[in-house]
Amino acid sequence: MRTSIRHLNVTLLIAAGLLLGQTGQAEELSRGAMLSASCEGCHGTYGRSPGAIPSIAGKSAKYLRQALERFRSGEVPSTVMGRHVKGYTEEEIRLISEYLSKQK
Ligand code: HEC
């Protein structure tokens, strides 16, 4: 009897851990979505641009992150991106890049 309760506890702990892990991921994605809303005015809904501004949906997270960091440092000259991206932390840039890379 004692052992089976202990087993149950371990099982519950593992289940809780898995659940938490998954909410963590979902939370990261939804934070990324919220942060990316500010990009959509220019780059189109979900980053799919209908016009002259480049589409940013579905590019790799690494590409997006590097592009944003280069705009921020001024290494790549820009009209708006350099100024826009200065408002985000490294962590936010990572979340935005990951979210946009998952859009089609
Ligand atoms: C006010 C309009 C505007 C907003 C808002 C904006 N962008 Fe841009 N973005 C541009 C323009 C214009 C360019 C072309 C470079 C330049 O002149 O700044 C560009 C270029 C880029 C590029 C380079 C694309 C490539 O393939 O080389 C990336 C990546 C990018 N933007 C990501 C973002 C992200 C992520 C956000 C939101 C955090 C965002 N942009 C918000 C206008 C905007």
Query: Relative to the CA of 67, which ligand 1 atom is closest?
Result: 29
Quote the ligand 1 centre to 33 CA distance (angstroms).
16
Query: Relative to the CA of 76, which ligand 1 atom is closest?
Result: 15
For the stretch 44-103, pLDDT in tens is: 999 999 999 999 999 999 999 999 999 999 999 999 999 999 999 999 999 999 999 999
The count of other CB atoms within 10 Å of the CB of residue 68 is 24
pLDDT score recorded for residue 27 = 87
Q: For residue 56, give Cα distances in angstroms to 15, 24, 30, 60.
A: 37, 25, 18, 9
